[in-house]
A and B are shown apart, each in its own frame.
Chain A
Amino acid sequence: MLDKAIFFFFAGVAILSAGLMVTRRNAIHSAVFLITTLLATAGIFLQLRAEFIFIAQIILYVGGIMVLFIFVIMLVRLDVALHQIQFSRQKWVALFVTLALAAEVGVMLWSSRKVPGQGFLLPNAVPAAKLLPNTEELAGRLFDGYLLPFEIASVLLLVAMVGAVVMAKKRT
């Protein structure tokens, strides 16, 4: 009962603020609503007892990426941007992709409604005592089972970082 209430609260907040994020004209307001969405999603992670992913979401997405987003938005002259006509030409593509995604989610929900041991919307809660500490579990998987993909991803990030530094450097 309480679990469901908490889930629907977070889910509702996430969807509502995602909608507001798309529709606001003011970029800072959009960013604030995006933060709310991310925090609500983090709440759902926490409810699933994925503590590490919950806190990684908060530290990386909310505390890191969104701060940089807002940093950049503040440097833009918003009052000018507000009065300009937004010319995004991907309207129809976006509509198509959204519909396709909605259909996918719908099919998935519909087909899983009678799988035993799985609820219609919520998976059955895992008893807390059986969970291993998240961080250790994740680190074990990452550095034992998936070391090569992990290293490839980190090399990719390193390349991106070096690229950014090179591009930002003053040309003398």
Chain B
Amino acid sequence: MHPNLHALLVFLQTWWVELVSGVVIVAVVPLIAGYLVLMERKLMADMQARLGPMRVGPHGLLQPIADAVKLLIKEDIIPDNADKLVFWLAPVVSMTAALTAMGAIAFGPTFQVARDINVGLLFVIGVSSLGLFGIVLGGWASNSHYSIMGALRSTAQLVSYETAAGLALVSGLLLAGTLNIRAIVDAQQHLGVWFVFLAPVAFFIYVVASIAETNRAPFDLPEAESELVAGYMTEYSGFRWALYFLGEYANMIVVGAVAATLFLGGWLRPFPNVRWMNWLDALPALSTAAVGVYCVWRAGKQPARVQTWFMWGVALACFAGALILGVPLLMAPLKFLVPGLHGAFWFLLKISAYIYLFMWLRFTLPRYRFDQLMHLGWYILIPLAIVNVLAVGVAMILETEYGWNRWLAMIATTIITLAAALFLMRLNDKREAAASSAAPPPEEASTEDSYAG
């Protein structure tokens, strides 16, 4: 056999699991992103007392497919004065960064592409932050004022909020004592408590900062449609625009996964070490079956025959999923499948809850003004994150060196941190009051702000 061919075969034999997992991620994430968009539209409709997409498929279940087809066959416009190469490169960067970051995330104890990265969490954060280049370069290459304003805003915003997010993660990492993703989850299992309960302030800071990092409302200044048309993607259309969108939703999955891993116990089910809570193991199968039953119930009420069949199909898929999740629990020879399947279920459930929180906030809160955003980041979140890192460190020393009860130490330092937060907010209020009494009326002042639209 040719030596090169042999080397290739050896390579494939060693790495086929990783290769297949990578392909699965690249293939499945766009689909998930499409359905996240549908979920967002449905939720928004629900909160605004509308129905949302209902036409394509029962309850609009095929809407993402229709949207994808529409975006694929749309005309691809590149502005005449755009920088062609960079214009072409930018959306690709945005998407690649998010998908690459996903490679190090552990979706359950068995499904992880890059297993033995000792700096796993840093890898995820660092690589996903490269997606910023997609936004900045795209905004610049479009050669349009709105785009470049969006790009400038997004740079300022991400650089500010990455600091706060990083410091919040440091608090969690102090508790875990490692950067390895598996070891972080193992540490939470070992302690028997999710880190969100030990460092609630850090989790809160991370939630706020990750909303700003993914450019979501109320911090969606880079694409604020009432000020900047569509911000950095004003000039993009068709499939390039879809790539940006995919990158954005993939990024939401990444920040959700980081939060779930570090603060919400990763793939562990709630109360992983408590024996009498073992009935929770049945929950994945039961909840999936419940969704199936609901689909059967709805199937009879569909307006058209095709839609009834489709609903039955969805119901059957749900029942199949319930079987896959439930049968290994009952049959001893298949027991080895349980950790992987159930781990993935709980992990995805936690990510979904996190993304649901994002959407809920988006429909609830009005958009911030750019200077308010910057003040929140620099005057409140970053100092608070620094105080919180110190507080968590002090709590750990109190526990290990002075033999305090862990909960007592954590609650005491959390109260100190909250007091610091109150103090910072009072300071900020005072500063704003002083600024508004000294400065000319706010309308004129805001036109001088170079970042404002």
Near A by CB (< 8 A), chain B positions 83-142 give 83, 85-86, 89, 116-119, 122-123, 125-127, 129-130, 132-133, 136-137, 139-141
Interface residue from B129, B152, B178 paired with A74 (Cβ < 8 Å)? B152
A127: interface (CB < 8 Å): no
B49 to chain A, nearest CB (A): 42
Q: Are B137 and A59 in contact (CB under 8 A)?
A: no
Tell me whether A67 and B152 are in contact (CB under 8 A). no
- Beyond the given A28-B83, A54-B119, A68-B159, could you list 7 further A-B residue pairs with CB under 8 A, ordered by the A residue number? A32-B86, A35-B133, A71-B152, A74-B151, A133-B180, A134-B119, A135-B118
A25 contacts partner chain B, Cβ-Cβ < 8 Å: no
Q: What sequence of 0s and 1s flags, for each residue 67-102 of chain A, a beta carbon within 8 Å of any chain B beta carbon? A: 110110011000000000000000000000000000
Q: DSSP majority for the A interface? A: helix
- Of B85, B86, B133, most buried by chain A (CB within 10 Å of CB) is B133
Q: Are A2 and B89 in contact (CB under 8 A)?
A: no
Within 8 A of A (CB), among B149-203: 151-152, 155-156, 158-159, 162, 178-180
| Bound: A66/B159 CA distance, A | 11
24 interchain pairs (CB within 8 A)? A28-B140, A29-B86, A35-B133, A51-B117, A54-B119, A55-B119, A55-B122, A55-B123, A55-B126, A58-B126, A59-B126, A59-B129, A63-B129, A63-B162, A67-B133, A67-B155, A70-B133, A70-B155, A71-B136, A74-B140, A75-B152, A134-B119, A135-B119, A135-B179
Which A residues are in CB contact (< 8 Å) with B156?
A: 71
Q: Which of B11, B116, B122, B125 contacts A2 (CB 8 A)?
A: B11
Binding site for B on A (CB under 8 A): 1-2, 26, 28-29, 32, 35, 51-52, 54-55, 58-59, 62-64, 66-68, 70-71, 74-75, 128, 133-135
Q: How many residues of B contact A (CB 8 A)?
A: 35
Contact between B118 and A51, CB atoms less than 8 A apart: yes
Contact with A along B1-13 (1 / 0, CB 8 A): 0000001000100
**Measured between alpha carbons, how far is A59 from B152 in the docked complex, in Å?**
20
Contacting residues, chain B, for A54 (C-beta < 8 A): 119
User: Shortest CB–CB separation between residue B31 and chain A, in angstroms?
Assistant: 28
Cβ of B148 under 8 Å from chain A: yes
Expressed in whole angstroms, the minimum distance between the Cβ of B145 and any Cβ of chain A is: 12
Q: Are B117 and A32 in contact, CB atoms less than 8 angstroms apart? A: no
Interchain CA distance A62-B100 in the complex, whole Å: 15
Q: Closest residue to B10 on the A side, CB-wise?
A: A2
Given A28-B86, A55-B123, A134-B118, the answer on whether A1 and B7 have CB atoms closer than 8 Å is yes
In the complex, the answer to whether B148 meets A74 with C-beta atoms within 8 Å is yes
Q: Are A71 and B130 in contact (CB under 8 A)?
A: no
CA distance A64 to B152 in the complex (A): 15
List of B residues within 8 angstroms of A66 by Cβ: 133
Chain A residue nearest to B123 in the complex (CB): A55
CB atoms of A133 and B140 under 8 A apart: no
Main secondary structure, interface of B, reads helix
Asked if residues B122 and A32 are in contact (CB atoms below 8 Å), the reply is no
Contact yes or no, B136 A52, CB < 8 A: no
**B interface residues with partner A (beta carbon < 8 Å):** 7, 11, 83, 85-86, 89, 116-119, 122-123, 125-127, 129-130, 132-133, 136-137, 139-141, 148, 151-152, 155-156, 158-159, 162, 178-180
Closest to A31 in B: B137
Q: What CA separation (Å) do A2 and B132 show in the bound complex?
A: 32
Does A71 contact B7, Cβ atoms closer than 8 Å? no
C-alpha spacing A54/B116, complex, angstroms? 15
**Which of the residues A59, A68, A75 comes within 8 Å of B122, measured between beta carbons?**
A59
- Smallest beta-carbon distance B292→chain A, Å: 43
Q: Beyond A32-B137, A51-B117, A74-B148, is A62–B86 a contact (Cβ under 8 Å)?
A: no
Shortest distance in angstroms between B377's beta carbon and chain A's nearest beta carbon?
15
A54–B159 alpha-carbon span in the complex (Å): 20
With a CB–CB cut-off of 8 A, which chain A residues contact B129?
59, 63
Please name all residues of chain B whose beta carbon is closer than 8 Å to the beta carbon of A71 when the two chains form the complex: 136, 152, 155-156, 159
How far, in Å, is A75 (CB) from chain B's closest CB? 8
Contact across chains for B130 and A62 when beta carbons are under 8 A apart: yes
Nearest-Cβ distance from residue A137 to partner chain B, whole angstroms: 10
Contact B155 A32 (CB under 8 A): no
Query: What are the 9 tightest A-B residue pairs by CB atom distance, in nearest-first order?
Result: A59-B126, A58-B126, A63-B129, A133-B118, A55-B122, A71-B155, A51-B119, A55-B119, A55-B126
A74→B179 CA distance, assembly (Å):
35
B132 and A63: CB pair below 8 A? yes
A28 / chain B contacts, CB cutoff of 8 Å: 83, 86, 137, 140-141
